[in-house]
Amino acid sequence: MPESAPHRRPLPLIGTVGGGRSRRTCELRCGDACFHPAPNTSDNPYFGDVFAKALSRRSMLGAAVIGAGAGALGVAAPAAADRGPNRPKPAPRPTFKSVLPNNDDKVTIPNGYDQHVIVRWGDPVVPGAPAFDVENQTAEAQAEQFGYNCDYVGFHQLDENRGLLWVNHEYTNEHIMFRGYRGGASATAEQIRIAMAAHGGSLVELDRVGRTGQWRLSGGERRFNRRITTETPLTLTGPAAGHDLLKTAEDPTGTTVRGMLNNCAGGYTPWGTFLSGEENFNQYFAKAPARPEYARYGLPTGSSGRRWEGVDERFDLSRHPNEANRFGWIVEIDPLDPSAPPAKRTMLGRFKHEGATIRLAKDGRAVAYMGDDERFDYIYKFVSAKKYREGDTRHNLTLLDTGVLYVARLTGNSPEEEIDGSGALPSDGEFDGYGDWIALTSDTTSFVDGFTVAEVLIHTRLAADTVGATKMDRPEDMEASPATGKVYVALTNNSAREPGQADEPNPRGPNKHGHILEIIEHNADSAAEAFAWNVPLLCGDPEDEDTYYAGYDKSKVMPISAPDNVAFDRDGNLWISTDGQPGAMGFNDGLHVMPVEGRFRGELKTFATVPVSAEACGPLISEDNKTVFLAPQHPGDNGTFEAPTSVWPDGDFPRPSVVCIWHKGGRDVGQ
C-alpha cells in the first residue's frame, strides 16, 4: 500500500498572485502577463458557443473519430479504448516513499537516493572562462559562464560515460544578482549587459561518476562547451525567412538574428538536436506600435521593465518595429557542431513558445507538439513534409522547414449544463471528448483567409484566432509517452477564466491549480488530424472536491498545483514539475510522478521538492532510467541580494543550478 496521505502543515503564504507564483517571478519572467488583460480578445468562442456546431461537425469528422468508440458524441472514452486485448503494458509502479510538502531551502529527495549539484549560475562553461565573482561580475565573464534561471534540460549522450547537457537560461532576477540593485531606470548599462549575457543557453560536457547515475562537469577537453547569449548570431530558416516583416536596418536580409530570448522549455529530437522555445519575449521590448499584431503578443507601448532599449536600440520598436517579429520562435541547436549557428525554425510558428517535443509519425514524418503559454491561448502541432532518415543528420536538419502547422480545437462530449466550472464530473464520469487539428498553413499554401504563408507563421496567434481554436488554461509543456504515443499537456492555471467560461477541456473557472490533458491521436498516429482527449488530473489538494486523480483513491495521492513541465521515464510513467505551489498551496514547488496506464493510473507521488521560492524546471529522466536531472529556477526570488530568502546551493546566496538525482543502490529512478 502507498504511504498515508501527507501531513498538512499550516504553512505561511509568500506574497503571491494569480495561480501562485511570487509577484517577482511574474514581473521578471513573464513581464507581468497575469496583471494585464489576456491578449486573446478574439471572439473565438468558448465551448458553450460551439457545442451545437460540434454536434453537426461530428458527421464531418466521420469515421476517423467515430471509429474510436461509442461515447455520447461517438468518441470513445479513452480509458475504454485501452480495455481491449491490446492495451498498453503499464510501466512499473513507482515504489519510493513520497517526499512530504515542505518549505525547506534545499532539494529534498526520497530515502535511498543521492544528489549532486552539477552546474551553477556563474560556473565556467567555455574553456578558459574566468572564475565566478558575484561582487565583481562583468558581461564578458558572464558570456563565458553558466547563465541564469535554468529551465529546459536536455542530454545528448556521447557514449556510456560522457554526455552533453543543454540548459536554457530563461530570464534574470537582477535584484538577487546585484548588490544594491534598485531596478527600472536606475539599472546600470553594465548590469543590463550582464543580464543580457546571462540569457540564452549553455552546453556543457559531463562525465559519469563510476557506474552510477551521477554525472559531473567534465574536466577534459570540453570542445563542445558553448554559450548562446543575446549577442550570438542565429539564422532564420523556413518559409518566413527573408520576409519583409523580418527585415531590420541591422539585418536587411531578414535571415540573421542576434540572440534568443526567454527560452523556456524545449525538446530533444530523434536526430540528436535540441529544440528551445522563446516564450515571453515581449517583455524585452519598448514602444510598440498600437496595432493588433503587437497587442496580441502583449508587446508594451511604453518603456520596458528591463530598460534594455536604453542599451541596445533594437529593443525600441518605435525605431525598429520588425525586431519583435524576430523573436518568439522555436530554436534548433546542433550540439555536435559548435560552429553552426542555432536556427530559428519559422515553419513552427511564432507565439509564446513554451517548448517543442518531437514524436515520429507512423510513416516517419516528424511531429512537433507545442504549447503557447498564455491564458486563453492555444495548443499547436507541426507535421513535417519529409520523413526522418536514420543517420542522415544533414537531411534531418531540414525536417522542420517544410510541412503543415496545425492548431487544436477540442470538443467535449457531455452536455454544456453539466460543466458548471466547479470541477464536478459530468454524468458520463469524465471530462473528455474529441478534437481536430485545424491546418493553418503549409510551407507553400495558407489555409487562413487574409493571411499569406509568412503572415500565418509570423502572426500565428492572429491567424489561429480566426479558425475556432480552443482557448486553453495556459498550455505549457507537452510530451508524448514513449510507451503509447499519447500526448500529455500541462495546463498550468488560469485565474481569469470565469465560471461561465468553463468548458469540458478547461472545466474549472477560475482554475487555480491547473490540470493535465491527455491526447490520444487517431489510430495512434501522431500525424493524424483527429484525436480523442480526456483530463486525467485536476490538480490541487486531494482533500478538495474539485480535484481528480484519474479516479484513483485520493486518500493515497499527494497534492500538486501549477503543472508546468512534463517528462517520461523509459517505461512510460509521467513526471510533472510545478511552477506555483508556494502561492497556491503554501509549500515549495516539486517534481511528481504518476502512472498513466493500468490500475495505478492517477497514483501521484512526490519525488522531489526544490528550494525556497524556486520552481522545479527540467526535468529529464536519462535514457537508461538511472538519473533524474532537475533545474531549480529562481531560488530566493522573493528576497534581495542583501537579504536573501534562499542560500541554496552553497549557503551564501542563491544560484539557479542543475542537479542530478540517482538511487544509491543503482535502481531505476522512481523505484
Can you give the binding site for ligand FEO, defined by CB under 6 A? 170, 264, 279, 354, 373, 476, 564
Q: Which is nearer to ligand FEO, 264 or 462 (CB)?
A: 264
Q: Which is nearer to ligand FEO, 332 or 373 (CB)?
A: 373
Q: Which is nearer to Ca ion, 32 or 231 (CB)?
A: 32
Whose CA is closest to 203, among 111, 127, 317, 311? Answer: 127
Q: Which is nearer to ligand FEO, 631 or 669 (CB)?
A: 631
Q: Which is nearer to ligand FEO, 375 or 522 (CB)?
A: 375
Q: Which is nearer to ligand FEO, 446 or 493 (CB)?
A: 493
Q: How far apart are CA 446 and CA 458, in angstroms?
A: 12
- Give me the least distance between CB of 430 and Ca ion, in Å please: 5
Binding positions for Ca ion, 580-609, rule CB under 5 A = none
Q: Which does 279 bind (CB under 5 to 8 A by kind): ligand FEO, Ca ion, none?
A: ligand FEO
Q: Choose, by CB under 5 A, the member of 428, 482, 495, 524 that binds Ca ion.
A: 428
Q: Choose, by CB under 5 A, the member of 278, 432, 443, 518 that binds Ca ion.
A: 432
Q: Which does 278 bind (CB under 5 to 8 A by kind): ligand FEO, Ca ion, none?
A: none
Helix (H, G, I), strand (E, B) or coil at 517: strand
Q: Which does 323 bind (CB under 5 to 8 A by kind): Ca ion, ligand FEO, none?
A: none
Strand 162-169 and strand 365-371: the pairing is unpaired
Q: Which does 637 bind (CB under 5 to 8 A by kind): ligand FEO, Ca ion, none?
A: none
Q: Which does 170 bind (CB under 5 to 8 A by kind): Ca ion, ligand FEO, none?
A: ligand FEO
Binding positions for Ca ion, 250-279, rule CB under 5 A = 264-265
- Give me the least distance between CB of 348 and ligand FEO, in Å please: 16
- Give me the least distance between CB of 351 and ligand FEO, in Å please: 12
Tell me how far CA of residue 47 lies from CA of 55, 142, 413, 468, 586, in angstroms. Answer: 12, 48, 11, 10, 33
- Give me the least distance between CB of 560 and ligand FEO, in Å please: 16
Q: Which is nearer to Ca ion, 443 or 579 (CB)?
A: 579
Q: Which is nearer to ligand FEO, 191 or 280 (CB)?
A: 280
Q: How far apart are CA 507 and CA 485, in angstroms?
A: 25
User: How would you label 146-166 residue by residue, b for 16+ Cβ within 10 Å and e otherwise?
Assistant: bbbbbbbbbbbeeeeebbbbb
Q: Which does 377 bind (CB under 5 to 8 A by kind): Ca ion, ligand FEO, none?
A: none
Q: Which three cell numbers stand for residue 7?
A: 501531513
- Give me the least distance between CB of 311 and Ca ion, in Å please: 26
Whose CA is closest to 430, among 573, 540, 548? Answer: 548
Q: 631 and 658 in contact (C-beta within 8 Å)?
A: yes
Q: Which is nearer to Ca ion, 625 or 633 (CB)?
A: 633
Nearby residues of 529 by Cβ (< 8 Å), 6 or more positions away:
64, 406, 436, 437, 439, 522
Whose CA is closest to 563, among 577, 549, 584? Answer: 577
Q: Which is nearer to Ca ion, 276 or 573 (CB)?
A: 276
User: How would you label 609-626 residue by residue, b for 16+ Cβ within 10 Å and e otherwise?
Assistant: bbbbbbbbbbbbbbeebb
Burial classification of residue 447, based on how many CB atoms lie within 10 Å of its CB (0-12 exposed, 13-18 middle, 19 or more buried)? middle
Q: How far apart are CA 93 and CA 91, in angstroms?
A: 6
Cα–chain center distance at 532 = 22
- Give me the least distance between CB of 602 and ligand FEO, in Å please: 25
- Give me the least distance between CB of 215 and ligand FEO, in Å please: 24
Q: Which does 566 bind (CB under 5 to 8 A by kind): Ca ion, ligand FEO, none?
A: none
Q: Which is nearer to ligand FEO, 260 or 647 (CB)?
A: 260
- H helical segments located in 233-315: 292-295
Whose CA is closest to 125, among 207, 178, 20, 203? Answer: 203
Tell me how far CA of residue 327 lies from CA of 18, 305, 457, in angstroms. Answer: 26, 18, 12
- Give me the least distance between CB of 229 and ligand FEO, in Å please: 18
Q: How far apart are CA 21 and CA 422, in angstroms?
A: 22
Q: Which is nearer to ligand FEO, 354 or 637 (CB)?
A: 354
Q: Which does 428 bind (CB under 5 to 8 A by kind): ligand FEO, Ca ion, none?
A: Ca ion
Q: Which three cell numbers stand for residue 534?
A: 480526456
- Give me the least distance between CB of 373 and ligand FEO, in Å please: 3
Per-residue x/- track, 468-487, Ca ion (CB under 5 A): --------x-----------
Torsion of CA 124, 127, 128, 129, to 10 degrees: -30
Q: Which does 413 bind (CB under 5 to 8 A by kind): ligand FEO, Ca ion, none?
A: Ca ion
The span of 136-144, 241-249, 432-440, 594-602 binding Ca ion (CB under 5 A) equals 432-440
- Give me the least distance between CB of 170 and ligand FEO, in Å please: 6
- H helical segments located in 62-101: 63-66, 78-81
- Give me the least distance between CB of 206 and Ca ion, in Å please: 23
Q: How far apart are CA 314 and CA 291, in angstroms?
A: 19
Q: Choose, by CB under 5 A, the member of 579, 589, 637, 668 that binds Ca ion.
A: 579
User: How would you label 346-364 residue by residue, b for 16+ Cβ within 10 Å and e otherwise?
Assistant: bbbbbbbbbbbbbbbbeee
Q: 282 and 298 in contact (C-beta within 8 Å)?
A: yes
Q: Is 157 left (phi over 0), alpha (psi -120 to 50) or beta?
A: beta
- Give me the least distance between CB of 281 and ligand FEO, in Å please: 11
Q: Which is nearer to ligand FEO, 577 or 657 (CB)?
A: 577
Q: Choose, by CB under 5 A, the member of 436, 465, 564, 597 that binds Ca ion.
A: 564
- Give me the least distance between CB of 335 and ligand FEO, in Å please: 22
Angle at 666 between CA 598 and CA 92, to 5 degrees: 5
Q: Which does 432 bind (CB under 5 to 8 A by kind): ligand FEO, Ca ion, none?
A: Ca ion
Q: Which does 401 bind (CB under 5 to 8 A by kind): ligand FEO, Ca ion, none?
A: none
What's 463-477 look like in SS3?
Answer: HHHCCCCCCEECEEE
Q: Is 558 left (phi over 0), alpha (psi -120 to 50) or beta?
A: beta
- Give me the least distance between CB of 178 and Ca ion, in Å please: 23
Q: 562 and 539 in contact (C-beta within 8 Å)?
A: yes
Q: Which is nearer to Ca ion, 293 or 564 (CB)?
A: 564
Q: Which does 457 bind (CB under 5 to 8 A by kind): ligand FEO, Ca ion, none?
A: none
Tell me how far CA of residue 139 lies from CA of 126, 226, 634, in angstroms. Answer: 14, 16, 20
- Give me the least distance between CB of 354 and ligand FEO, in Å please: 5
- By the rule CB under 5 A, 414 interacts with Ca ion: yes
Q: Which residue has the cell 514581473?
A: 27
Q: Which does 518 bind (CB under 5 to 8 A by kind): Ca ion, ligand FEO, none?
A: none
Q: Choose, by CB under 5 A, the member of 413, 470, 588, 609 that binds Ca ion.
A: 413
Q: Which is nearer to Ca ion, 14 or 264 (CB)?
A: 264
* Contacts with Ca ion, residue ranges (CB under 5 A): 264-265, 413-414, 426, 428, 430, 432, 476, 564, 579
